[in-house]
Structure 1
Amino acid sequence: MNDKFIAERVTQLRLTKNKLSEYKLSLELGLSRTYIGMVTRGKTKPSMGVFLAICEYFEITPVQFFAPYLTDKLNSLMMDINELADEDIDCLCRIVEAFLNDKKLKKQDEQTRKG
């Protein structure tokens, strides 16, 4: 993800909501009047708390915020995962971690044989 994505996405969301000004959005979120302007110009990145407040204000999830950046396949997978119970997500994380570790070991083994 490039550094411009968050700035561009906040601008996109802001403009789709009755062309809300940066100033007005800053005030609506209880921030300094120039904060959103600084975010949209790439001068600062929002904290996690501000990011979540932005998502809540626009009535979207963090996954939906990043949806334009994600591939269709990854976006679909994220939406499916979002429907799982916490223990299922934990299990899935362990499976992915094991898969990635195995892949890393195979790559190291392959490099050892070549070298």
Structure 2
Amino acid sequence: MEQDYINKRITELRIKKGVAEHKMSIELGHSRSYIQSISSGRSFPSMTEFLAICDYLGVTPRDFFDDDISNPPLIREAVDKLKTLSDGDLLLILTMINRLQS
């Protein structure tokens, strides 16, 4: 995996969240150009900053690197709500998912 992947994934998830680079930078406690410098490849976040970025974007580090998931925060919210359902309700949801996929 290359550094370019991290830059592009941050940009992808930031856009899905609907937040501007400068706003995200400021809300993470940095200068207005912090995220732009990462997105452009001029800088690279430390591990601590990477974890803060994941938290800000509403994704786990695992979700961040799973590019098969196009909208990790939405998937995580759905899974969290599924965990509270009864077995019968889960079977109904599964039936609906199977019907939607066919």
TM-score w.r.t. the length of structure 1 is 0.56
The within-5 A match list for 1:1-115 is 1-18=1-18, 20-68=19-67
Structure 1: which 5+ runs fail to align? 70-115
Larger radius of gyration: 1
Q: Distance in 2 between matches of 1:28 and 1:17?
A: 14
TM-score w.r.t. the length of structure 2 is 0.63
How many corresponding residue pairs?
68
Q: Distance in 2 between matches of 1:56 and 1:8?
A: 17
Give every structure 1 segment of 4 or more consecutive aligned residues whose post-TM-superposition deviation is greater than 4 Å: none
Q: Distance in 1 between matches of 2:58 and 2:3?
A: 23
Identical amino acids, percent of aligned pairs: 46
Aligned CA RMSD, in angstroms, stands at: 1.2
Structure 2: which 5+ runs fail to align? 69-102
